[in-house]
Structure 1
Amino acid sequence: MQKQISKEFYKYISLNVLGMLGLSCYILADTFFISKRLGADGLTALNLAISVYSIINGLGLMLGIGGATRFAICRAQGEKEKGNQVFAVSAAAGMAVGIVLLIIGLAGSDAVAGMLGAEGNIQTMTGGYLKTILVFAPFFIMNNILIAFVRNDGSPRLSMAAMLTGSFSNIVLDYVFLFPCNMGIFGAALATGFAPVISLGLLSLHFIRGKNQFTWSSPMGALYCRVRDICSLGISAFINELSSAVVLIVFNLLILHLAGNTGVAAYGIVANLALVAVSVFTGISQGSQPLISRFYGEGRKKESAAVFVRAAILAGAVGIFFSAAAFAFTTNLVGIFNGEGNRELAEIAFWGLRLYFLGFCPAGVNIVAAAYMGAVEKGRESFAIAFVRGVAAILFFAFFLSFIWKMDGIWLAFPAAEISTLLLTARFLKRYKKTALPSVEK
């Protein structure tokens, strides 16, 4: 039995980590090509706009992971029709949210850019990027929903292939639109917007081949309760993405005051490299979720906990690796995105990368623990971990430490928040073990 669990664990984890690394290339490719083509101004505009992309992505992940978690539990308990209704509600809610965001993009992207702190030429660039991304919001959200359901429906390879195909197409289109076509920041946004469309095309094979064990069912009937249930199970994924948006906005405003546009461009380098690290942790948490939910739905709580322990250990080891890599290759990593050879930009990003990445030692465990709590129907604990690490603690430390140590304080806010959250995570896990897992002894 343990060998079977190990085989499934590493299968789901490896496929989802690869897929999430591919998704992180959406923005990383934009960062690289924009830095080469549009310089520090382009990086500043992109970093201001990325917060909105994080919100779009977070809404899709919340509906996708929350719905797919409930679907997996329903299937394990033999409630097929209820599982179909969960899919229908997730899809309907996703389309509704996507259309609202599309309208906001068409009507108010320039105003949103101004609210994010953009001015002058940078506001024009930021607004253009936002308008394009928001127009594609329905595709981003539906892509996240289908990826989660297809993965939980026993096709993690197709889910991974869809994510990677969309990401690689984004990289190719970024180059084509920015260089041969000379379409500016609009081209970068358009390339990113096409990625989920291509991914959805590949995911449709799950239905064309008849592999799907879920179908469309009327989403009506206790609609509000189902949406609330889905959101509660996927709330940690949304908070993780929302926190990225909130942190980007707050950090950008603080850094604008302390170091100007060059400081924001430097933070853009650090934040986008951090996306790669977070994508690995997200891949580990999402890869373990189908197994945790299935075992939990079957009443096998000991096996469910064992999967979490494996995932947490792996996430902790990966976090230590990322922190060490940031120290070992700082100059090389910063140089990749400093196409103009800006000395001030390089100096700010150098120390920022080293200090910020110290937070990834505990971050992986916190992210995996929040996902675990959601997968075993502990929505409040999941929300608390995600909210404290992603919003409350990091904002507190950003303001407090930046007042004392200026830019160094901003960089140190992330590791300080993660260490604080780890204490809360340990408390929740200890409580859950005592109440729900009395038989799990280590």
Structure 2
Amino acid sequence: MEKSILKNFTKYVSLNVLGMIGLSCYILADTFFISKALGATGIAALNFSIPVYSVMHGIGLMIGIGGATRYSIVKSQHQDQRANSIFSHCMGLGLLIGMLFVLIGIIGPKFLAVVLGADATTLPLTKTYLTTMLCFAPFFIINNVVLAFVRNDHNPNLPMIAMLVGSFSNIILDYIFMFPLKMGMFGAAFATGLAPIISISVLSIHFIKGENNFKFVRSKVYWSSIWDIFSLGLSSFITEVSSAVVLITFNLVILNLEGNLGVASYGIIANIALVGISIFTGIAQGIQPLISKAYGMSNNTVLEKIIKFALVTSLVIAVAIYFGVFFTSDGIIRIFNSEQNLKIAQLTKTGLRIYFIGFFFAGINIIISTYLSAIEQARNAFIISILRGCVVIVPSVLLLSRLWEMTGIWLAFVFTELIVTMIAIPIANSNKEVEIGDKRAGTLAHITIKS
């Protein structure tokens, strides 16, 4: 039995990690090409814009992961009509919220850019990037929703392919738009906006081949159903929004200490870290369908083994990432520091070697949060996510930057993840009984959560 669990774990996690790395390369590709075409000013402008991308991505994950979690649970209980309703509600929510972002992109990009920290130098580039990205918001959100449902529909291969194809397309289009066509910042944002459309096109194969076990149905929408979707996906949303909160806080504090060069340095670190965090998110998303199914079937043995596999995997990957970054920091900096600015190089090298210590704890926190959401412990998952997102990180940045300036800023991420891990592990280990199943469906069992 353990071999079977490990086989499923390896399959789902490896495919999702590959896919999430591809997805994270949306912004990393922009960072590389913008650094070559527009230098430090371009990187700073991109860094001011990324929080908006994180919020859009987070909303897509919240609706997708939340809806797919409930879908997987009710599907395992053979409630097909309800499963179809959940999918339909998620798609409707994604389109509605996406259109609100489009409206913001049309009427308020300049105000938004200023709020995010752009100054006279970076404002034109930041505004251009934000306007373009926001106009593609419906596609970013719907892509995440469909990815989650197809993954939970016993087809983890296709989402991985879709994310990788979208990412590679983004890289190619970035080059074409920014160099041969010389479209500048708009070209970078336009390439990124086209990527989810390409990904959705790949995902449509699942429907064209008739492999989908869910479909659109007309059903009455209840606020309780919407809240159920949001609550189950809330930790995923908070995880992504925490990136936005951290970026905004760091950007403003660093702007005060080191100006746009400091923000550019942090932009390099943050965008590389985005790839690392995506690996942990990939592990978490990979185990979510397995956990939700086991939870719906009241299989406590599978739940325990999956969480153990996930935590060990995250620690191994954290070690590999940290030492990889530590020993290759000079090469990494040369790739993104196209102007070979000495100040940026010095700040980035120190930052990489301190900031990435936090990865030893970040993976644990992301996995535990997703695990708790998948077993309907949304409150505990929310606590972990909100601690990472703002409750600990914001005061840490403000306090430690006063004590040790830039070194304190890099340490703030490490300190935050460590503190949250010290809280998350006892929550996961608590012998608290939780209900399995759906009361409304008439099924109820109990398990004890243990690591």
- When normalised by structure 1's length, the TM-score is 0.98
User: Match for residue 380 of structure 1?
Assistant: 379
User: Match for residue 98 of structure 1?
Assistant: 98
Q: Describe the shift of the 1:317–1:152 C-alpha distance in structure 2 as closer, same or farther (beyond 3 A).
A: same
1:124-156 deviations in Å (ceiling 9; x for gaps): 100000000000000000000000000000111
User: Match for residue 292 of structure 1?
Assistant: 291
SS in 2 for 1:147: helix
User: Match for residue 391 of structure 2?
Assistant: 392
In the aligned structure 2, how far is the partner of 1:432 from the partner of 1:158? 37
Gaps of 5+ in 1: none
User: Match for residue 264 of structure 1?
Assistant: 263
Residue 157 of structure 1 and its aligned partner are, at CA, apart by 0.5
1:71-113 deviations in Å (ceiling 9; x for gaps): 0001011111111111111111110000000010011111100
- Would you say the 8 A contact 2:428–2:449 is kept in 1? no
Q: Which runs of 4+ in 1 moved over 4 A?
A: 432-442
SS in 2 for 1:406: helix
User: Match for residue 20 of structure 1?
Assistant: 20
1:317-362 deviations in Å (ceiling 9; x for gaps): 1112212222111111111100110000100111011110010011
Which aligned pairs between 1:68-87 and structure 2 lie closer than 5 A?
Answer: 68-87=68-87
User: Match for residue 59 of structure 1?
Assistant: 59
Q: Does 1:164 find its partner at 2:125?
A: no
In the aligned structure 2, how far is the partner of 1:69 from the partner of 1:153? 11
Q: Counterpart amino acid of 2:150?
A: V
1:144-177 deviations in Å (ceiling 9; x for gaps): 0000000000111111111000000000000000
In the aligned structure 2, how far is the partner of 1:202 from the partner of 1:438? 39
Residue 252 of structure 1 and its aligned partner are, at CA, apart by 0.3
In the aligned structure 2, how far is the partner of 1:393 from the partner of 1:89? 34
Which aligned pairs between 1:357-376 and structure 2 lie closer than 5 A?
Answer: 357-376=356-375
Which aligned pairs between 1:114-193 and structure 2 lie closer than 5 A?
Answer: 114-193=114-193
Overall identity of the aligned pairs, in %: 48
Q: Counterpart amino acid of 1:163?
A: M
Q: Does 1:208 find its partner at 2:228?
A: no
- Would you say the 8 A contact 1:86–1:219 is kept in 2? no
Q: Describe the shift of the 1:186–1:330 C-alpha distance in structure 2 as closer, same or farther (beyond 3 A).
A: same
- Would you say the 8 A contact 1:389–1:417 is kept in 2? yes
Q: Describe the shift of the 1:346–1:70 C-alpha distance in structure 2 as closer, same or farther (beyond 3 A).
A: same
Q: Describe the shift of the 1:440–1:109 C-alpha distance in structure 2 as closer, same or farther (beyond 3 A).
A: closer
Residue 391 of structure 1 and its aligned partner are, at CA, apart by 1.5
- Would you say the 8 A contact 2:238–2:382 is kept in 1? yes
In the aligned structure 2, how far is the partner of 1:393 from the partner of 1:30? 30
- Would you say the 8 A contact 1:302–1:439 is kept in 2? no
1:165-216 deviations in Å (ceiling 9; x for gaps): 0000000000000000000000000000000000111111111100000011
SS in 2 for 1:187: helix
Residue 219 of structure 1 and its aligned partner are, at CA, apart by 4.1
* Equivalenced residues, count: 441
- Would you say the 8 A contact 1:67–1:87 is kept in 2? yes
SS in 1 for 2:430: helix
Q: Describe the shift of the 1:324–1:387 C-alpha distance in structure 2 as closer, same or farther (beyond 3 A).
A: same
User: Match for residue 350 of structure 2?
Assistant: 351
Q: Counterpart amino acid of 1:265?
A: A
- Would you say the 8 A contact 1:92–1:219 is kept in 2? no
322-331 or 84-93, which deviates more: 322-331
User: Match for residue 111 of structure 1?
Assistant: 111
Q: Does 1:230 find its partner at 2:229?
A: yes
- Would you say the 8 A contact 2:106–2:131 is kept in 1? yes
Residue 313 of structure 1 and its aligned partner are, at CA, apart by 1.0
1:371-399 deviations in Å (ceiling 9; x for gaps): 00000000000011111012211111101
In the aligned structure 2, how far is the partner of 1:102 from the partner of 1:14? 34
User: Match for residue 50 of structure 1?
Assistant: 50
315-324 or 182-191, which deviates more: 315-324
- When normalised by structure 2's length, the TM-score is 0.96
SS in 2 for 1:329: helix
User: Match for residue 341 of structure 1?
Assistant: 340
- Would you say the 8 A contact 1:136–1:193 is kept in 2? yes
23-32 or 307-316, which deviates more: 307-316
- Would you say the 8 A contact 1:21–1:279 is kept in 2? yes
In the aligned structure 2, how far is the partner of 1:432 from the partner of 1:89? 35
Q: Describe the shift of the 1:219–1:113 C-alpha distance in structure 2 as closer, same or farther (beyond 3 A).
A: farther
1:221-258 deviations in Å (ceiling 9; x for gaps): 42x11110011111111001101011101100000000
Cα RMSD (Å) of the superposition? 1.3
In the aligned structure 2, how far is the partner of 1:439 from the partner of 1:289? 18
- Would you say the 8 A contact 2:287–2:310 is kept in 1? yes
Q: Describe the shift of the 1:375–1:439 C-alpha distance in structure 2 as closer, same or farther (beyond 3 A).
A: closer
In the aligned structure 2, how far is the partner of 1:303 from the partner of 1:155? 20
Residue 401 of structure 1 and its aligned partner are, at CA, apart by 0.5
